[in-house]
Amino acid sequence: MQLIENALNFLDGILGSAFYFPILLLGVGVFFTFYLGFPQVRFFNHAWKVLRGRYSNDSDPGDTSHFQALSTALSGTVGTGNIGGVAFAIFLGGPAALFWMWATAFVGMTTKYVEVSISHKYRHKDDRGQMVGGPMNYMESGLNLKWLAVFFAIATVISSFGSGNLPQANNMASGLESSFNIPTYVSGGVLAILLGLVIVGGIQRIAKVASTLVPLMGVLYAIGAFAVILTNAENIIPSFLAIIGDAFTGSAATGGFLGATFAYAFNRGVNRGLFSNEAGQGSAPIAHAAARTKEPVAEGMVAILEPFIDTLIICTLTGLVILSSGVWQQKYHNTFAVFDTEIVQGQYSEANPTDVQQLFAHMDLVKPKDDPVKPFNGEVKVEGGVFSADGFTVLHNRSIAEDVQIRSGGQLFSGTVVVVDGHLEDPALELSGRSLLHSVPLTAQAFKSSFLGDYGGFAVTAGLVLFAFSTAIAWSYYGDRAITYLFGTRWIMLYRMTYVAGFFVATVADTSLVWLISAVTLALMTLPNLIGLILMRKEVKTMTNRYWQTHRQPPG
Protein backbone atom coordinates (compact mmCIF):
# COMPACT_ATOMS: atom_id res chain seq x y z
CA MET A 1 0.00 0.00 0.00
CA GLN A 2 2.82 2.40 0.87
CA LEU A 3 4.49 1.72 -2.51
CA ILE A 4 1.22 2.41 -4.32
CA GLU A 5 0.72 5.59 -2.34
CA ASN A 6 4.25 6.76 -3.13
CA ALA A 7 3.85 6.00 -6.84
CA LEU A 8 0.54 7.83 -7.05
CA ASN A 9 1.92 10.81 -5.15
CA PHE A 10 4.86 10.95 -7.57
CA LEU A 11 2.57 10.86 -10.61
CA ASP A 12 0.23 13.40 -9.08
CA GLY A 13 3.23 15.60 -8.33
CA ILE A 14 4.32 15.74 -11.97
CA LEU A 15 0.77 15.90 -13.35
CA GLY A 16 -2.31 17.29 -11.60
CA SER A 17 -0.53 18.77 -8.59
CA ALA A 18 2.37 20.22 -10.60
CA PHE A 19 2.58 24.02 -10.69
CA TYR A 20 1.98 24.14 -14.45
CA PHE A 21 -1.27 22.14 -14.49
CA PRO A 22 -3.73 24.74 -13.12
CA ILE A 23 -1.93 27.44 -15.09
CA LEU A 24 -2.30 25.45 -18.31
CA LEU A 25 -5.94 24.59 -17.58
CA LEU A 26 -6.97 28.15 -16.81
CA GLY A 27 -4.65 29.51 -19.49
CA VAL A 28 -6.35 27.57 -22.28
CA GLY A 29 -9.77 28.69 -21.05
CA VAL A 30 -8.63 32.32 -20.76
CA PHE A 31 -7.05 32.20 -24.22
CA PHE A 32 -10.23 30.92 -25.90
CA THR A 33 -12.36 33.32 -23.86
CA PHE A 34 -10.55 36.27 -25.45
CA TYR A 35 -9.91 34.56 -28.79
CA LEU A 36 -13.62 33.90 -29.32
CA GLY A 37 -14.88 37.07 -27.63
CA PHE A 38 -16.31 35.74 -24.34
CA PRO A 39 -18.66 33.10 -25.78
CA GLN A 40 -19.75 32.03 -22.28
CA VAL A 41 -21.39 35.47 -21.96
CA ARG A 42 -22.45 36.28 -25.53
CA PHE A 43 -23.80 32.83 -26.37
CA PHE A 44 -25.43 32.11 -23.01
CA ASN A 45 -29.04 33.00 -23.91
CA HIS A 46 -28.78 31.32 -27.29
CA ALA A 47 -27.59 28.14 -25.59
CA TRP A 48 -30.84 27.89 -23.63
CA LYS A 49 -32.84 28.24 -26.87
CA VAL A 50 -30.87 25.44 -28.50
CA LEU A 51 -31.41 23.28 -25.42
CA ARG A 52 -35.18 23.82 -25.59
CA GLY A 53 -35.15 22.47 -29.15
CA ARG A 54 -35.81 25.71 -31.01
CA TYR A 55 -33.35 24.76 -33.78
CA SER A 56 -33.77 20.99 -33.60
CA ASN A 57 -34.97 18.57 -36.24
CA ASP A 58 -35.79 14.95 -35.46
CA SER A 59 -34.35 13.91 -38.82
CA ASP A 60 -30.89 15.19 -37.91
CA PRO A 61 -28.23 12.50 -37.34
CA GLY A 62 -27.70 11.41 -33.77
CA ASP A 63 -28.98 9.14 -30.99
CA THR A 64 -30.29 11.60 -28.36
CA SER A 65 -31.89 15.04 -28.01
CA HIS A 66 -29.92 18.11 -26.90
CA PHE A 67 -31.48 17.83 -23.45
CA GLN A 68 -30.64 14.14 -23.14
CA ALA A 69 -27.05 14.76 -24.26
CA LEU A 70 -26.70 17.59 -21.73
CA SER A 71 -28.27 15.44 -19.02
CA THR A 72 -25.87 12.59 -19.80
CA ALA A 73 -22.89 14.95 -19.70
CA LEU A 74 -24.20 16.57 -16.50
CA SER A 75 -24.76 13.19 -14.91
CA GLY A 76 -21.07 12.58 -15.55
CA THR A 77 -20.05 15.87 -13.89
CA VAL A 78 -22.70 16.27 -11.18
CA GLY A 79 -21.41 13.55 -8.88
CA THR A 80 -19.43 13.13 -5.71
CA GLY A 81 -17.30 16.06 -6.85
CA ASN A 82 -20.24 18.32 -6.02
CA ILE A 83 -20.70 16.82 -2.55
CA GLY A 84 -17.35 15.37 -1.54
CA GLY A 85 -15.08 17.18 -3.99
CA VAL A 86 -16.06 20.68 -2.86
CA ALA A 87 -15.62 19.63 0.76
CA PHE A 88 -12.23 18.17 -0.09
CA ALA A 89 -11.16 21.42 -1.78
CA ILE A 90 -12.19 23.54 1.22
CA PHE A 91 -10.57 21.03 3.58
CA LEU A 92 -7.29 21.46 1.69
CA GLY A 93 -7.32 25.10 0.67
CA GLY A 94 -9.90 26.83 2.85
CA PRO A 95 -12.51 29.29 1.52
CA ALA A 96 -10.11 30.52 -1.20
CA ALA A 97 -10.36 27.16 -2.95
CA LEU A 98 -14.01 27.85 -3.80
CA PHE A 99 -13.05 31.08 -5.58
CA TRP A 100 -10.70 29.17 -7.84
CA MET A 101 -13.41 26.60 -8.49
CA TRP A 102 -15.54 29.50 -9.72
CA ALA A 103 -12.74 30.79 -11.92
CA THR A 104 -12.26 27.33 -13.37
CA ALA A 105 -15.98 27.09 -14.12
CA PHE A 106 -16.21 30.52 -15.78
CA VAL A 107 -13.38 29.94 -18.25
CA GLY A 108 -14.41 26.29 -18.38
CA MET A 109 -17.67 27.32 -20.03
CA THR A 110 -15.60 28.45 -23.01
CA THR A 111 -13.41 25.35 -22.91
CA LYS A 112 -16.51 23.14 -22.97
CA TYR A 113 -17.85 25.05 -25.97
CA VAL A 114 -14.58 24.56 -27.86
CA GLU A 115 -14.01 20.87 -27.08
CA VAL A 116 -17.60 19.84 -27.74
CA SER A 117 -17.89 21.81 -30.99
CA ILE A 118 -14.70 20.48 -32.55
CA SER A 119 -15.25 16.91 -31.35
CA HIS A 120 -18.83 16.90 -32.62
CA LYS A 121 -17.64 17.86 -36.09
CA TYR A 122 -15.47 14.75 -36.40
CA ARG A 123 -17.91 12.20 -34.96
CA HIS A 124 -18.88 9.13 -36.95
CA LYS A 125 -21.01 5.98 -36.65
CA ASP A 126 -19.70 2.66 -35.40
CA ASP A 127 -20.51 -0.68 -37.01
CA ARG A 128 -23.76 -0.81 -35.01
CA GLY A 129 -24.98 2.52 -36.34
CA GLN A 130 -24.36 4.50 -33.12
CA MET A 131 -22.40 7.72 -32.89
CA VAL A 132 -18.78 7.67 -31.74
CA GLY A 133 -17.21 10.99 -30.90
CA GLY A 134 -14.79 12.72 -28.62
CA PRO A 135 -11.33 14.28 -28.66
CA MET A 136 -9.80 11.10 -30.06
CA ASN A 137 -11.77 11.70 -33.27
CA TYR A 138 -10.60 15.26 -33.86
CA MET A 139 -7.06 14.28 -32.88
CA GLU A 140 -6.99 11.60 -35.58
CA SER A 141 -9.07 13.20 -38.34
CA GLY A 142 -8.46 16.89 -37.65
CA LEU A 143 -4.85 16.87 -36.49
CA ASN A 144 -3.67 13.63 -38.12
CA LEU A 145 -2.16 12.62 -34.79
CA LYS A 146 -3.25 9.02 -34.45
CA TRP A 147 -0.83 8.36 -31.60
CA LEU A 148 -2.28 11.21 -29.56
CA ALA A 149 -5.80 9.94 -30.23
CA VAL A 150 -4.86 6.46 -29.05
CA PHE A 151 -3.19 7.86 -25.92
CA PHE A 152 -6.29 9.89 -25.11
CA ALA A 153 -8.61 6.93 -25.66
CA ILE A 154 -6.50 4.74 -23.37
CA ALA A 155 -6.49 7.50 -20.75
CA THR A 156 -10.28 7.74 -21.08
CA VAL A 157 -10.69 4.03 -20.37
CA ILE A 158 -8.46 4.36 -17.30
CA SER A 159 -10.28 7.53 -16.21
CA SER A 160 -13.65 5.85 -16.56
CA PHE A 161 -12.53 3.88 -13.53
CA GLY A 162 -10.48 6.61 -11.84
CA SER A 163 -13.02 9.43 -12.23
CA GLY A 164 -16.40 7.90 -12.87
CA ASN A 165 -16.25 4.53 -11.18
CA LEU A 166 -13.96 4.22 -8.15
CA PRO A 167 -14.62 7.51 -6.28
CA GLN A 168 -18.36 7.36 -6.99
CA ALA A 169 -18.76 3.81 -5.68
CA ASN A 170 -16.48 4.41 -2.72
CA ASN A 171 -18.19 7.58 -1.51
CA MET A 172 -21.65 6.18 -2.14
CA ALA A 173 -20.99 3.02 -0.14
CA SER A 174 -19.32 4.86 2.76
CA GLY A 175 -22.23 7.31 2.88
CA LEU A 176 -24.81 4.53 3.08
CA GLU A 177 -22.78 2.78 5.76
CA SER A 178 -22.41 5.86 7.96
CA SER A 179 -26.07 6.94 7.61
CA PHE A 180 -27.92 3.63 7.58
CA ASN A 181 -25.30 1.10 8.77
CA ILE A 182 -25.55 -0.77 5.48
CA PRO A 183 -22.35 -2.81 4.94
CA THR A 184 -20.39 -1.51 1.98
CA TYR A 185 -20.35 -4.89 0.26
CA VAL A 186 -24.16 -5.04 0.43
CA SER A 187 -24.79 -1.59 -1.02
CA GLY A 188 -21.96 -2.15 -3.51
CA GLY A 189 -23.47 -5.41 -4.71
CA VAL A 190 -27.01 -4.04 -5.12
CA LEU A 191 -25.92 -0.86 -6.88
CA ALA A 192 -23.49 -2.74 -9.12
CA ILE A 193 -26.37 -4.89 -10.35
CA LEU A 194 -28.50 -1.80 -11.03
CA LEU A 195 -25.59 -0.19 -12.84
CA GLY A 196 -25.20 -3.23 -15.05
CA LEU A 197 -28.89 -3.22 -15.95
CA VAL A 198 -28.68 0.39 -17.09
CA ILE A 199 -25.43 0.45 -19.05
CA VAL A 200 -26.14 -2.74 -20.95
CA GLY A 201 -28.86 -0.81 -22.80
CA GLY A 202 -26.37 1.61 -24.35
CA ILE A 203 -26.74 5.34 -24.88
CA GLN A 204 -30.53 5.33 -25.36
CA ARG A 205 -31.18 3.79 -21.95
CA ILE A 206 -28.40 5.81 -20.33
CA ALA A 207 -29.80 9.07 -21.75
CA LYS A 208 -33.34 8.27 -20.57
CA VAL A 209 -32.19 7.47 -17.04
CA ALA A 210 -29.92 10.53 -16.93
CA SER A 211 -32.60 12.94 -18.19
CA THR A 212 -34.84 11.76 -15.34
CA LEU A 213 -32.25 11.63 -12.56
CA VAL A 214 -30.39 14.89 -13.20
CA PRO A 215 -33.31 17.33 -12.77
CA LEU A 216 -34.68 15.35 -9.81
CA MET A 217 -31.45 15.16 -7.88
CA GLY A 218 -30.60 18.80 -8.61
CA VAL A 219 -33.87 20.09 -7.16
CA LEU A 220 -33.79 17.85 -4.10
CA TYR A 221 -30.20 18.75 -3.28
CA ALA A 222 -30.85 22.48 -3.70
CA ILE A 223 -33.78 22.33 -1.27
CA GLY A 224 -31.65 20.64 1.38
CA ALA A 225 -28.76 23.05 0.83
CA PHE A 226 -30.94 26.14 1.21
CA ALA A 227 -32.29 24.71 4.48
CA VAL A 228 -28.74 24.69 5.88
CA ILE A 229 -27.73 28.06 4.44
CA LEU A 230 -30.83 29.80 5.79
CA THR A 231 -30.24 28.25 9.21
CA ASN A 232 -26.83 29.93 9.22
CA ALA A 233 -27.94 33.05 7.34
CA GLU A 234 -25.79 35.36 9.48
CA ASN A 235 -22.69 33.64 8.10
CA ILE A 236 -23.53 33.96 4.40
CA ILE A 237 -21.90 37.37 3.86
CA PRO A 238 -18.80 36.51 5.96
CA SER A 239 -18.45 33.31 3.91
CA PHE A 240 -18.48 35.25 0.63
CA LEU A 241 -16.01 37.76 2.06
CA ALA A 242 -13.67 34.92 3.06
CA ILE A 243 -13.94 33.29 -0.37
CA ILE A 244 -13.06 36.49 -2.20
CA GLY A 245 -10.75 38.01 0.40
CA ASP A 246 -8.57 34.90 0.70
CA ALA A 247 -8.39 34.23 -3.05
CA PHE A 248 -5.00 35.87 -3.60
CA THR A 249 -3.56 35.57 -0.11
CA GLY A 250 -4.49 32.08 0.99
CA SER A 251 -6.51 31.14 4.07
CA ALA A 252 -5.15 31.73 7.57
CA ALA A 253 -5.12 29.03 10.24
CA THR A 254 -8.35 28.90 12.23
CA GLY A 255 -9.71 26.30 14.61
CA GLY A 256 -8.28 22.93 13.65
CA PHE A 257 -7.50 24.17 10.10
CA LEU A 258 -3.76 24.76 9.78
CA GLY A 259 -4.02 27.29 6.96
CA ALA A 260 -3.35 27.28 3.23
CA THR A 261 -1.05 29.37 1.06
CA PHE A 262 -2.27 31.05 -2.12
CA ALA A 263 -0.47 28.44 -4.24
CA TYR A 264 -2.08 25.59 -2.33
CA ALA A 265 -5.60 27.03 -2.49
CA PHE A 266 -5.14 27.89 -6.17
CA ASN A 267 -3.91 24.43 -7.11
CA ARG A 268 -6.54 22.52 -5.13
CA GLY A 269 -9.37 24.82 -6.14
CA VAL A 270 -8.56 24.50 -9.84
CA ASN A 271 -7.93 20.77 -9.52
CA ARG A 272 -11.21 20.09 -7.71
CA GLY A 273 -13.02 22.49 -10.05
CA LEU A 274 -11.86 20.42 -12.98
CA PHE A 275 -12.87 17.21 -11.25
CA SER A 276 -16.31 18.70 -10.71
CA ASN A 277 -17.14 20.18 -14.13
CA GLU A 278 -14.52 18.33 -16.25
CA ALA A 279 -13.98 21.35 -18.53
CA GLY A 280 -10.94 20.58 -20.65
CA GLN A 281 -10.82 16.94 -19.66
CA GLY A 282 -12.45 15.82 -22.89
CA SER A 283 -15.13 13.60 -21.37
CA ALA A 284 -18.23 15.71 -22.10
CA PRO A 285 -17.66 15.74 -25.91
CA ILE A 286 -18.17 11.98 -25.90
CA ALA A 287 -21.69 12.38 -24.50
CA HIS A 288 -22.55 15.38 -26.70
CA ALA A 289 -21.44 13.49 -29.81
CA ALA A 290 -24.67 11.49 -29.57
CA ALA A 291 -26.90 14.59 -29.88
CA ARG A 292 -29.16 14.94 -32.94
CA THR A 293 -27.96 17.97 -34.88
CA LYS A 294 -26.20 18.92 -38.10
CA GLU A 295 -24.56 21.87 -36.40
CA PRO A 296 -21.55 20.97 -34.23
CA VAL A 297 -21.46 24.53 -32.88
CA ALA A 298 -25.07 24.25 -31.70
CA GLU A 299 -24.10 21.38 -29.44
CA GLY A 300 -21.12 23.40 -28.28
CA MET A 301 -23.59 26.08 -27.21
CA VAL A 302 -25.45 23.57 -25.06
CA ALA A 303 -22.17 22.51 -23.44
CA ILE A 304 -21.63 26.08 -22.19
CA LEU A 305 -24.38 25.43 -19.65
CA GLU A 306 -22.61 22.49 -17.98
CA PRO A 307 -20.02 24.30 -15.81
CA PHE A 308 -22.62 26.95 -15.02
CA ILE A 309 -25.05 24.39 -13.60
CA ASP A 310 -22.47 22.06 -12.14
CA THR A 311 -20.03 24.44 -10.46
CA LEU A 312 -21.44 27.95 -10.34
CA ILE A 313 -24.75 26.68 -8.94
CA ILE A 314 -24.46 23.24 -7.31
CA CYS A 315 -20.86 23.47 -6.06
CA THR A 316 -21.49 26.98 -4.74
CA LEU A 317 -24.44 25.66 -2.73
CA THR A 318 -22.24 22.95 -1.22
CA GLY A 319 -19.48 25.45 -0.48
CA LEU A 320 -21.84 27.86 1.27
CA VAL A 321 -23.33 25.00 3.29
CA ILE A 322 -19.87 24.04 4.57
CA LEU A 323 -18.51 27.55 5.14
CA SER A 324 -21.62 29.07 6.72
CA SER A 325 -21.96 26.14 9.13
CA GLY A 326 -18.31 26.45 10.23
CA VAL A 327 -17.80 22.69 10.32
CA TRP A 328 -14.75 22.86 8.03
CA GLN A 329 -12.57 24.18 10.88
CA GLN A 330 -13.94 21.96 13.66
CA LYS A 331 -12.83 18.52 14.81
CA TYR A 332 -15.19 15.54 15.08
CA HIS A 333 -14.76 12.00 16.25
CA ASN A 334 -14.02 9.62 13.39
CA THR A 335 -12.08 6.51 12.51
CA PHE A 336 -8.68 7.37 11.05
CA ALA A 337 -7.88 6.30 7.51
CA VAL A 338 -4.34 4.95 7.25
CA PHE A 339 -3.68 7.07 4.18
CA ASP A 340 -4.47 10.29 6.08
CA THR A 341 -2.59 9.44 9.29
CA GLU A 342 1.00 10.19 10.28
CA ILE A 343 2.74 10.01 13.66
CA VAL A 344 5.53 12.59 13.92
CA GLN A 345 8.29 13.28 16.41
CA GLY A 346 7.69 15.94 19.07
CA GLN A 347 4.58 17.43 20.62
CA TYR A 348 2.83 20.06 18.52
CA SER A 349 0.06 22.46 19.52
CA GLU A 350 -2.37 24.54 17.47
CA ALA A 351 -1.91 27.30 20.07
CA ASN A 352 1.73 27.68 19.02
CA PRO A 353 2.08 29.71 15.75
CA THR A 354 5.49 28.18 15.05
CA ASP A 355 4.08 24.66 15.35
CA VAL A 356 1.21 25.53 13.02
CA GLN A 357 3.58 27.00 10.45
CA GLN A 358 5.90 23.99 10.56
CA LEU A 359 3.05 21.48 10.25
CA PHE A 360 1.48 23.28 7.32
CA ALA A 361 4.83 23.49 5.52
CA HIS A 362 5.25 19.76 6.18
CA MET A 363 1.91 19.07 4.44
CA ASP A 364 2.28 21.61 1.63
CA LEU A 365 2.51 20.68 -2.06
CA VAL A 366 6.30 20.55 -1.77
CA LYS A 367 7.87 19.88 1.63
CA PRO A 368 10.76 22.17 2.63
CA LYS A 369 14.20 20.66 2.21
CA ASP A 370 15.02 21.28 5.85
CA ASP A 371 11.63 20.07 7.10
CA PRO A 372 11.86 19.92 10.92
CA VAL A 373 8.79 17.68 11.14
CA LYS A 374 10.09 14.11 11.12
CA PRO A 375 8.20 10.79 11.16
CA PHE A 376 8.28 8.94 14.47
CA ASN A 377 9.94 5.56 14.79
CA GLY A 378 9.92 3.29 17.82
CA GLU A 379 7.86 1.26 20.25
CA VAL A 380 5.09 2.79 22.36
CA LYS A 381 3.10 1.23 25.19
CA VAL A 382 -0.67 1.40 25.07
CA GLU A 383 -2.99 0.95 28.07
CA GLY A 384 -6.75 0.71 27.62
CA GLY A 385 -6.51 2.01 24.06
CA VAL A 386 -4.53 5.12 25.05
CA PHE A 387 -0.87 5.90 24.40
CA SER A 388 0.97 5.88 27.73
CA ALA A 389 3.92 7.94 26.49
CA ASP A 390 4.44 11.32 24.88
CA GLY A 391 7.15 12.77 22.64
CA PHE A 392 5.13 12.41 19.45
CA THR A 393 2.00 13.84 17.76
CA VAL A 394 -0.68 12.03 15.79
CA LEU A 395 -1.73 13.88 12.64
CA HIS A 396 -4.92 12.97 10.84
CA ASN A 397 -6.73 14.78 8.02
CA ARG A 398 -4.16 17.59 8.06
CA SER A 399 -4.89 18.38 11.70
CA ILE A 400 -3.55 17.51 15.13
CA ALA A 401 -5.63 14.56 16.31
CA GLU A 402 -7.11 14.63 19.80
CA ASP A 403 -8.49 11.95 22.17
CA VAL A 404 -6.74 9.26 20.15
CA GLN A 405 -7.63 5.64 20.91
CA ILE A 406 -6.32 2.35 19.52
CA ARG A 407 -8.50 -0.67 18.91
CA SER A 408 -7.91 -4.18 17.72
CA GLY A 409 -10.85 -6.22 16.51
CA GLY A 410 -13.20 -3.53 17.80
CA GLN A 411 -11.82 -3.72 21.36
CA LEU A 412 -9.58 -1.21 23.15
CA PHE A 413 -5.98 -2.36 22.75
CA SER A 414 -3.39 -2.79 25.48
CA GLY A 415 0.19 -3.72 24.81
CA THR A 416 3.06 -2.38 22.72
CA VAL A 417 2.76 -0.93 19.24
CA VAL A 418 5.57 -0.46 16.75
CA VAL A 419 5.67 2.73 14.68
CA VAL A 420 7.72 2.69 11.47
CA ASP A 421 8.19 5.91 9.48
CA GLY A 422 5.17 7.48 11.10
CA HIS A 423 2.76 4.57 10.62
CA LEU A 424 1.63 1.68 12.81
CA GLU A 425 3.40 -1.47 11.71
CA ASP A 426 0.40 -3.69 12.50
CA PRO A 427 -2.34 -3.01 9.90
CA ALA A 428 -4.93 -4.71 12.15
CA LEU A 429 -4.73 -1.85 14.65
CA GLU A 430 -7.27 0.93 14.19
CA LEU A 431 -6.88 4.52 15.33
CA SER A 432 -9.79 6.84 16.10
CA GLY A 433 -10.24 10.23 17.71
CA ARG A 434 -11.16 13.82 16.97
CA SER A 435 -9.84 15.49 13.81
CA LEU A 436 -10.97 17.52 10.84
CA LEU A 437 -13.31 15.87 8.35
CA HIS A 438 -13.17 15.97 4.57
CA SER A 439 -15.10 14.78 1.52
CA VAL A 440 -18.63 13.45 2.06
CA PRO A 441 -18.44 13.23 5.91
CA LEU A 442 -17.67 16.97 6.03
CA THR A 443 -20.65 17.86 3.84
CA ALA A 444 -22.89 15.53 5.83
CA GLN A 445 -21.79 17.19 9.07
CA ALA A 446 -22.62 20.59 7.59
CA PHE A 447 -26.12 19.47 6.66
CA LYS A 448 -26.64 18.14 10.18
CA SER A 449 -25.82 21.59 11.59
CA SER A 450 -29.17 22.95 10.36
CA PHE A 451 -32.68 22.46 11.72
CA LEU A 452 -32.68 19.23 9.70
CA GLY A 453 -30.48 17.62 12.34
CA ASP A 454 -29.66 13.99 11.59
CA TYR A 455 -32.09 14.12 8.69
CA GLY A 456 -29.61 16.45 7.01
CA GLY A 457 -27.12 13.60 6.90
CA PHE A 458 -29.75 11.40 5.31
CA ALA A 459 -30.39 14.10 2.69
CA VAL A 460 -26.69 14.15 1.82
CA THR A 461 -26.65 10.37 1.54
CA ALA A 462 -29.68 10.40 -0.77
CA GLY A 463 -28.08 13.07 -2.93
CA LEU A 464 -24.80 11.21 -2.89
CA VAL A 465 -26.39 7.99 -4.12
CA LEU A 466 -28.21 9.75 -6.95
CA PHE A 467 -25.23 11.88 -7.95
CA ALA A 468 -22.69 9.10 -7.77
CA PHE A 469 -24.85 6.54 -9.53
CA SER A 470 -25.63 8.88 -12.42
CA THR A 471 -21.94 9.74 -12.76
CA ALA A 472 -20.99 6.08 -12.90
CA ILE A 473 -23.57 5.56 -15.63
CA ALA A 474 -22.23 8.41 -17.77
CA TRP A 475 -18.61 7.39 -17.38
CA SER A 476 -19.38 3.84 -18.41
CA TYR A 477 -20.50 5.33 -21.73
CA TYR A 478 -17.31 7.37 -22.06
CA GLY A 479 -15.19 4.28 -21.55
CA ASP A 480 -17.52 2.35 -23.84
CA ARG A 481 -16.92 4.80 -26.70
CA ALA A 482 -13.16 4.85 -26.07
CA ILE A 483 -13.04 1.05 -26.20
CA THR A 484 -15.02 1.16 -29.45
CA TYR A 485 -12.51 3.61 -30.91
CA LEU A 486 -9.56 1.43 -29.89
CA PHE A 487 -10.84 -2.08 -30.58
CA GLY A 488 -14.30 -1.93 -32.14
CA THR A 489 -17.66 -2.94 -30.71
CA ARG A 490 -16.69 -6.57 -30.03
CA TRP A 491 -14.97 -5.58 -26.76
CA ILE A 492 -17.82 -3.47 -25.38
CA MET A 493 -19.49 -6.20 -23.30
CA LEU A 494 -16.20 -7.26 -21.69
CA TYR A 495 -15.53 -3.63 -20.77
CA ARG A 496 -19.00 -3.22 -19.26
CA MET A 497 -18.58 -6.35 -17.14
CA THR A 498 -15.17 -5.15 -15.92
CA TYR A 499 -16.62 -1.73 -15.17
CA VAL A 500 -19.40 -3.18 -13.02
CA ALA A 501 -16.91 -5.43 -11.19
CA GLY A 502 -14.64 -2.44 -10.52
CA PHE A 503 -17.61 -0.51 -9.17
CA PHE A 504 -18.23 -3.22 -6.59
CA VAL A 505 -14.56 -3.56 -5.57
CA ALA A 506 -14.24 0.20 -5.07
CA THR A 507 -16.85 0.17 -2.30
CA VAL A 508 -14.27 -1.21 0.14
CA ALA A 509 -11.25 0.87 -0.96
CA ASP A 510 -9.61 3.72 0.99
CA THR A 511 -11.35 7.03 0.25
CA SER A 512 -8.28 9.24 0.09
CA LEU A 513 -6.39 6.76 -2.07
CA VAL A 514 -9.32 6.75 -4.49
CA TRP A 515 -9.26 10.56 -4.69
CA LEU A 516 -5.56 10.41 -5.51
CA ILE A 517 -6.15 7.85 -8.25
CA SER A 518 -8.84 10.07 -9.75
CA ALA A 519 -6.52 13.09 -9.69
CA VAL A 520 -3.84 11.22 -11.65
CA THR A 521 -6.18 9.77 -14.27
CA LEU A 522 -7.94 13.12 -14.70
CA ALA A 523 -4.64 14.76 -15.68
CA LEU A 524 -3.81 12.00 -18.15
CA MET A 525 -6.91 12.91 -20.18
CA THR A 526 -6.72 16.65 -19.73
CA LEU A 527 -3.16 17.36 -20.89
CA PRO A 528 -3.41 15.90 -24.43
CA ASN A 529 -6.88 17.38 -24.89
CA LEU A 530 -5.75 20.90 -23.98
CA ILE A 531 -2.83 20.63 -26.39
CA GLY A 532 -5.15 19.41 -29.13
CA LEU A 533 -7.63 22.24 -28.59
CA ILE A 534 -4.92 24.87 -28.98
CA LEU A 535 -3.81 23.27 -32.24
CA MET A 536 -7.44 23.35 -33.52
CA ARG A 537 -8.07 26.98 -32.51
CA LYS A 538 -8.38 28.40 -36.05
CA GLU A 539 -10.88 25.75 -37.13
CA VAL A 540 -13.02 26.41 -34.05
CA LYS A 541 -13.11 30.12 -34.80
CA THR A 542 -14.03 29.46 -38.43
CA MET A 543 -16.84 27.10 -37.35
CA THR A 544 -18.17 29.73 -34.94
CA ASN A 545 -18.20 32.48 -37.57
CA ARG A 546 -19.97 30.23 -40.09
CA TYR A 547 -22.60 29.29 -37.54
CA TRP A 548 -23.54 32.92 -36.94
CA GLN A 549 -23.81 33.50 -40.69
CA THR A 550 -26.89 31.26 -40.70
CA HIS A 551 -28.25 32.35 -37.31
CA ARG A 552 -28.82 35.70 -35.69
CA GLN A 553 -25.62 37.42 -34.64
CA PRO A 554 -24.76 37.10 -30.94
CA PRO A 555 -24.95 40.23 -28.78
CA GLY A 556 -21.79 42.20 -28.13
Share of the chain above pLDDT 90, in %: 45
Q: Is the model's pLDDT at 173 over the cut of 80?
A: yes
Q: How confident is the model at residue 62 (pLDDT cuts 50, 70, 90)?
A: confident
- Backbone Cα Rg of the chain: 23
Mean pLDDT in residue range 194-214: 84
Long-range contacts of 192-199 (CB under 8 A, 24+ apart): 192/500, 192/501, 192/503, 192/504, 194/469, 195/469, 195/472, 195/473, 195/476, 195/499, 195/500, 195/503, 196/496, 196/497, 196/500, 198/473, 199/473, 199/476, 199/477, 199/480, 199/496, 199/499, 199/500
- Please state the three-class secondary structure of 256-276 as a single string: CECCECHHHHHHHHHHHHHHH
Global pTM reads: 0.83
pLDDT attached to residue 17? 74
Q: Is the model's pLDDT at 382 over the cut of 90?
A: yes
pLDDT attached to residue 301? 93
Q: How confident is the model at residue 401 (pLDDT cuts 50, 70, 90)?
A: very high
pLDDT attached to residue 290? 87
58 CB neighbour count, 10 Å cutoff:
8
Mean pLDDT in residue range 433-460: 86
For helices 166-180 and 439-448, the axis angle rounded to 10 degrees is 40
Q: Where in the chain is the domain with CATH 1.20.1740?
A: 2-330+445-550
Mean pLDDT in residue range 400-420: 95
Mean pLDDT in residue range 409-419: 94
pLDDT attached to residue 79? 66
Residue 76 vs residue 243, higher pLDDT = 243
**Mean pLDDT, the chain, whole residue set:** 87
pLDDT attached to residue 275? 64
Q: Is the model's pLDDT at 512 over the cut of 70?
A: no
Residue 552's contacts (CB-CB under 8 Å, 6 or more residues apart) are none
pLDDT attached to residue 556? 53
pLDDT attached to residue 148? 94
pLDDT attached to residue 352? 92
pLDDT tens digits, residue range 330-340?
A: 999 999 988 88
Topology, domain 2-330+445-550: Amino acid/polyamine transporter I (1.20.1740)
Q: Is the model's pLDDT at 14 over the cut of 80?
A: yes
Share of the chain above pLDDT 70, in %: 96
* CB half-sphere exposure, 214, CA atoms < 13 A: 25
At 478, the amino acid letter reads Y
Which one, of 77, 111, 122, 26, lies nearest residue 533 by Cα?
111
Q: How confident is the model at residue 303 (pLDDT cuts 50, 70, 90)?
A: very high
pLDDT attached to residue 285? 93
Say if CB 528 and CB 151 are below 8 A apart. yes
Q: Is the model's pLDDT at 555 over the cut of 60?
A: no
Q: Is the model's pLDDT at 23 over the cut of 80?
A: yes
pLDDT attached to residue 514? 67
Q: Is the model's pLDDT at 166 over the cut of 90?
A: no
Mean pLDDT in residue range 484-508: 90
Which one, of 502, 526, 529, 499, lies nearest residue 514 by Cα?
502
Residue 278 vs residue 80, higher pLDDT = 278
Q: Is the model's pLDDT at 355 over the cut of 60?
A: yes
- Give the highest mean pLDDT range of 76-90, 276-290, 426-440, 514-528: 426-440
Mean pLDDT in residue range 402-421: 94
pLDDT attached to residue 530? 94
For helices 439-448 and 202-231, the axis angle rounded to 10 degrees is 50
Residue 34's contacts (CB-CB under 8 Å, 6 or more residues apart) are none
**3 state SS of 280:** coil
Q: Is the model's pLDDT at 122 over the cut of 70?
A: yes
Mean pLDDT in residue range 376-403: 94
Mean pLDDT in residue range 453-477: 84
For 320-334, the DSSP string reads HHHHHHTGGGS-EEE
pLDDT tens digits, residue range 255-284?
A: 888 888 787 788 777 777 766 778 888 998
pLDDT attached to residue 479? 93
Name the strand (E) or helix (H) holding 381.
strand 378-383
